[in-house]
Structure 1
Amino acid sequence: MKKYFNIFIAFCFLYSCKSIPLKDSNSDTAYANSLEEEITTYFRATGNEPFWELKIGKEKIVFTSLIQGKEKLIFLSVKSIRAMDANIKTYKAGNGESNIIVSIQQIECQNSMSGIISPYKVSIEIKNSTETTFQKIEGCGKYITDYRLHDIWVLEELKGNKVFAADFQKELPRLEIYAEDNRFIGFSGCNSISGSLFFEKDLLRFNNIISTLMACTKKNNKEDKFIKALQSTTTYSIKNNRLSLSSPSGKLLVFKKVD
């Protein structure tokens, strides 16, 4: 009897081991796709009554809501159309089953439930192919600054030339970027600096730069050139722990990431 009991216990143990679920590769793929979507999303908007969310990315536009028949709609990304007489961008997209028109206006917008202030007002017109008229809803949104910018960067190159501490009054310039808050602080070689970021898809600008007023000699001081280059920045790239800032005329600044 004891022999059969031991066999039964061993069988149960083996069965329980086999019943442990294996890692689902489909779940991994879904998670990876979700993560990629978050990384490539550069604008997000939400609205209430009914609740909805819009994500505009480099590859697709995703609209989710509690609206019946429009719970999740996906469109290929399209180029925006900028209005001539106002600071408004419009996106028009369709997928064969639904159509969406998104208007983004640069004006302060307050969420009707949370009270949070966003820099953009968003209007959406949406309809399915079986509908004759568009349903219009409104909400608030903001551009999502590339999280990879969030770090400390020390200057390596200025307009194609490698820089050294001796090129500045005290030490090499650096930037500490806070991507979530769209702001930065730093050091320009002699003075401390701070300012705001404007981010829109691949566009990056350093605005409202404020500097302390330390007395700095002109000898061995490229501080002015550094600040002018920073103010001229319009685009960026990040590769191999290097942040490159450029303008239409070419590469302006290269920084190295530091911990």
Structure 2
Amino acid sequence: MIRVKYISLIAGILMVFACNNSNKKKENIQNNNSEIMKQSDVINSEISKVKFAHTNSNYFSASGTEPFWNLEINEERVVFKTPSDSLKVPHVEPIMAQGFNVKRYDIETESNKITIQISQTECTNAMSGKVSPYSVTIEYKKVTETEVEKLEGCGHYITDYRLHDIWVLETLNGKKITQEDFSNEFPSIEIYSAENKFMGFAGCNQMNGRLFFENGLLRFTNVATTKMLCEPNNKEAEFLKALQSSTTYTIENNRLTLSNPSGILTIFKKID
């Protein structure tokens, strides 16, 4: 009888341990799932921040003196500030002047009217002496007033930060490249967006040059290469022609696509 009681007691203790272990396992699983969900939320939040930051990144900035004023333009809004006024209005597409690199933004709200003209002419800041590639003229007034205030200053386009990377060629004029096209290594470009310059390998020779950037517009200019003799089947010349013919770009899925009105010219893959 005593032996039966001991056996029952031991069985009860084992059941308690088993239940505790089971509860702990369930608790650990719940904690792990909770941690995974938290990490997922953090990742999604960071992705949203990147998308939001890109959408709201300024693509043009300008300023002037007498009086001091500042202008910032992005895809969402135009922000214009003076010592006595601050104006935030929705972005509008600019009107292009034919034959000249001049853009005009005509913006009208219930309380304000503003016209911004950006011209690709060299401009020197009256106080700092800093030279900018664009001249800016702003005319604005409140709807309730008749007098138009006119301001002048200097500005520049802000090159898309996403271009800053190393890109290796994948396709050229609609065809995926092979070792037969470039015997040694595939062409690559390293873009320095803050300095508007690039360097790289053209498929046979080393190269470097400058970037011309405006909102949605990208050109590779002042391209210089070394003078090594290339193999007859090497497509370096075709690649350089495509690179210098591009006018627009897109970045998606770690790919940089360069195009012009005729279509897609090159596609690069990001490697860094």
TM-score normalised according to structure 2 size: 0.77
Structure 1 gap ranges (5+): 1-27
The residue correspondences of 1:1-259 to structure 2 (distance < 5 A) are 36=53, 39-66=56-83, 68=84, 70=85, 72-84=86-98, 86-219=100-233, 221-259=234-272
CA distance in 2, matches of 1:44, 1:195: 24
Specify the SS of the correspondent of 2:227: coil
Specify the SS of the correspondent of 1:167: coil
- Would the aligned equivalents of 2:56 and 2:75 in 1 still touch at CA under 8 Å? no
The code of the aligned residue for 1:202 comes to G
- Would the aligned equivalents of 1:47 and 1:53 in 2 still touch at CA under 8 Å? yes
Specify the SS of the correspondent of 1:64: strand
CA distance in 2, matches of 1:164, 1:62: 48
Q: Call closer, same or farther: CA 1:85–1:199 in 2, change over 3 Å.
A: closer
Specify the SS of the correspondent of 1:41: coil
The code of the aligned residue for 1:98 comes to N
Deviations 1:17-38 (A, max 9, x none): xxxxxxxxxxx9xxx69x6377
Question: Alpha carbon RMSD of aligned pairs, Å?
Answer: 2.0
Q: Call closer, same or farther: CA 1:215–1:161 in 2, change over 3 Å.
A: same
Deviations 1:34-69 (A, max 9, x none): x63774421111112322111122222111221x2x
Return the structure number with greater helix share: 2
The code of the aligned residue for 1:89 comes to K
Once the two structures are overlaid, the 10-residue window that deviates more, 224-233 or 164-173, is: 164-173
CA distance in 2, matches of 1:188, 1:159: 15
- Would the aligned equivalents of 2:55 and 2:76 in 1 still touch at CA under 8 Å? no
- Would the aligned equivalents of 1:46 and 1:54 in 2 still touch at CA under 8 Å? yes
Structure 2 gap ranges (5+): 1-44
Please report how far the alpha carbon of residue 180 of structure 1 lies from its aligned counterpart in structure 2 after TM superposition.
1.2
The code of the aligned residue for 2:82 comes to S
Deviations 1:177-201 (A, max 9, x none): 1111111111100111111111111
CA distance in 2, matches of 1:145, 1:85: 23
CA distance in 2, matches of 1:132, 1:38: 35
The code of the aligned residue for 2:142 comes to N
- Would the aligned equivalents of 2:167 and 2:270 in 1 still touch at CA under 8 Å? yes
- Would the aligned equivalents of 1:102 and 1:124 in 2 still touch at CA under 8 Å? yes
Task: State the structure with more CA Rg.
Answer: 2
- Would the aligned equivalents of 2:256 and 2:269 in 1 still touch at CA under 8 Å? yes
The code of the aligned residue for 1:173 comes to P
